[in-house]
Amino acid sequence: MKRVVVKIGTGNLVSDGSLDASKASDIARQVAELISQGIEVALVSSGAIQAGRERLARIGQNPELAKKEWAGIGARHLLNLWGNSFENHGFDVAQIWLTYTNWVHKKEYESIRTSILSYFKSGIIPLVNENDVVSQREIESMEAGISENDRLARMVAEMIGADAILFLTDIGGVYDKDPRKDISAKRYQTVGRKTLKQIDVSESRSDHGTGGIGPKLEEAFVCFEKGMKVSIAGLEPDVLLRFAAGEDVGTMIV
């Protein structure tokens, strides 16, 4: 494995209802170790809306704002969370704001791709997210139960020629039923196209995000069919390191 995209859901960064710096720091530690092994890592991180709400709550404000506007407030705080986490391990991050129109314009597409590859060469971690204030599509898709950040992660992986992608979710993998509602739920170690018929994807949404396992699986299968190693997993101990080392983590796509 030489180049990997890691998509991080809001739930992976939250403890007791609030963003937890120790979780971001643990991910940063693992990314730093992967870089020391010669592996290039790009992050696609959710959490801006959560960060915006928390910030204004701390200063005693609760205005009536659209979710894209909460994301605009939270963007710098999410960036600070990641910047501080990586600084503790001797690295810095570069924020890359994207909209889906960037894929339509060849020059913009190539400019973004070139910058991400330049950051890799310089040992800087690309932190990718959609520019929510400019593009309402992300928020509308979230409301519809479609995780656009999963799609964005897949598109970035294709753009930079990643050979692996890890989708992190607070659910921890793919189950035959919602594990938060039914303790008898069983996690699949592997999932193929044929297995999809056995999976109830209708209500398996994250507690903090609004994506759902169905759209995540679709993006995961696109990546797999393009030759990438793919897993949907939780923030279990050293999950990034183990995934990069060839271990099966969470639910592997086959």
The per-residue pLDDT for 176 is 82
The per-residue pLDDT for 146 is 41
Calculate the average pLDDT of the chain: 88
Distance CA 159, CA 117 (A): 10
Say how far residue 238 (Cα) sits from the centre of its chain: 16
Distance CA 7, CA 219 (A): 11
- Please state which architecture CATH assigns to domain 3-253: 3-Layer(aba) Sandwich (3.40)
- How would residue 201 be classed by pLDDT, with cut points 50, 70 and 90? low
For the entire predicted model, the pTM comes to 0.89
- How would residue 115 be classed by pLDDT, with cut points 50, 70 and 90? very high
- Other CB atoms within a 10 A radius of the CB of residue 235 amount to 19
pLDDT digits (tens, 9 = 90+) for 204-213: 444 444 446 8
pLDDT at 185 over 80: yes
Q: Which of 123, 111, 113, 109 is nearest to 40 (CA)?
A: 123
Q: Are 153 and 7 in contact (CB under 8 A)?
A: yes
